[in-house]
């Protein structure tokens, strides 16, 4: 009898109720490695070199990676450029340990996007209407069990209409505190100008990624305040005047953390 071939041992260890989620690829096989390398060439050596001039400032990712094998990377979110910009800024040798929490209704909305999300982005599908928190449980399990994992999350939950940083949702703190994973602050400057919400595609131009401090796990109020203080130190116009922490009514959504990623 032929031995069972587990293509993805990590996946088979998941609880049964999680296995219907679309399979995000962590396959360290020839096809996946080739796809990821090909995408890295297109992204880093063509798109973000000639079409969009990406500049990375602050703490080098190499230094961060040596000290923090597990991290939650957060950034402001105002453009479809954001996820690929962060990925393009990270050295390709770390790519197989980088995950992106991505909206299932967009990044997995058709076969083309699904292929791209699985094999190029390594995206974890987040169903924003999921009432069972299945994707949240999946991420918690990955952060707990994987020896190395960088998880990219946009704590605002959706793209900003104005380009200003919105209130943070509580999902980041749930992941961080339950798994004791520190949080790396990053800020994308110029993303809303190059590809604002509602536009079909990005225009060429200059984009700056600021890489900041690593913050310890903590409640969302503390994380938001520290992030705002850091961003305001170099970009005082990044936040709207009325921006703040979630209201009491929003805080009640803690009962459904899947909507808060």
The 3-class secondary structure across the chain, one letter per residue, is CCCCCCCCHHHHCCCHHHCCCCCCCCCCCHHHHHHHHHHHHHHHHHHHHHHEEEEEEECCHHHHHHHCCEEEEECCCCCCHHHHHHHHHCCHHHHHHEEEEEEHHHHCCCHHHHHHHHHHHCEEEECCCCCCCHHHHHHHHHHHHCCCEEEEECCCCCCCCCCCCCCCCCHHHHHHHHHCCCEEEEEEECHHHHCCCCCCCCCCEEEEEEEEEEECCCCHHHHHHHHHHHHHCCCCCCCCCCCCCCCHHHHHHHHCHHHHC
| Higher-confidence position of 99 and 222 | 222
Q: Mean pLDDT throughout 146-163?
A: 91
Residue 126's pLDDT band (cuts 50, 70, 90): confident
pLDDT at 141: 85
Q: What's the rounded mean pLDDT across residues 210-220? A: 97
Indicate the pLDDT class of residue 257, thresholds 50, 70 and 90.
Answer: very low
Q: Is the pLDDT of residue 4 over 70?
A: no
Q: What is the pLDDT of residue 119?
A: 77
At 249 the pLDDT is 40
- Give the integer Cα–Cα distance in Å for 77 and 155: 8
Q: What is the pLDDT of residue 104?
A: 78
Q: Please write the tens of the pLDDT for every residue from 78-123.
A: 998 999 999 999 998 898 888 888 877 777 778 888 788 877 777 8
- pLDDT of res. 197: 83
pTM: 0.81
Q: What is the pLDDT of residue 260?
A: 39
Give CA–CA dist 18/28, Å, rounded.
21
Give me the residues paired with residue 206 across strands.
53
User: Which residue in this structure is represented by tokens 């952060």?
Assistant: 143
Of 131, 140, 121, residue with least CA distance to 32: 121
What percent of the chain has a predicted confidence (pLDDT) above 90? 50
**What pLDDT digit, counting tens, does each position of 196-205 carry?**
888 889 999 9
Quick check: 172 pLDDT over 50? yes
Residue 17 clears pLDDT 50, i.e. is over it: no
Kindly list the distances between the CA atom of residue 66 and the CA atoms of 31, 138, 164, in Å, as whole numbers in the listed order: 28, 25, 32
């Amino acid at each position: 009898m032929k031995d069972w071939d587990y293509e993805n041992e990590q996946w088979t260890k998941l609880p049964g109720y999680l296995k219907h989620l679309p399979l995000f690829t962590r396959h360290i096989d020839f096809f996946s490695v080739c796809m990821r390398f090909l995408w890295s060439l297109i992204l880093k050596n063509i798109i973000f070199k000639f079409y969009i001039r990406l500049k990375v400032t602050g703490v080098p990712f190499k230094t961060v990676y040596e000290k923090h094998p597990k991290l939650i990377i957060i950034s402001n979110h105002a453009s479809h450029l954001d996820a690929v910009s962060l990925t393009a800024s990270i050295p390709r040798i770390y790519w197989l340990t980088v995950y992106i929490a991505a909206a299932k209704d967009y990044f997995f909305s058709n076969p083309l996007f699904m292929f791209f999300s699985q094999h190029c982005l390594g995206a974890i599908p987040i169903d924003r209407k999921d009432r069972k928190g299945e994707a949240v449980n999946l991420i918690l399990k990955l952060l707990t069990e994987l020896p190395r994992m960088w998880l990219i999350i946009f704590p605002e939950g959706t793209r900003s209409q104005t380009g200003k940083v919105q209130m943070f949702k509580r999902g980041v703190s749930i992941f961080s505190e339950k798994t004791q994973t520190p949080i790396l602050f990053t800020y994308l400057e110029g993303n809303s100008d190059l590809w604002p919400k509602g536009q079909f595609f990005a225009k060429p131009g200059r984009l700056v990624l600021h890489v900041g401090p690593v913050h310890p796990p903590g409640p969302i109020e503390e994380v938001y305040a520290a992030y705002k203080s850091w961003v305001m130190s170099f970009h005082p116009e990044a936040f709207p005047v009325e921006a703040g922490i979630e209201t009491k009514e929003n805080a009640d959504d803690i009962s459904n953390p899947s909507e808060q990623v």
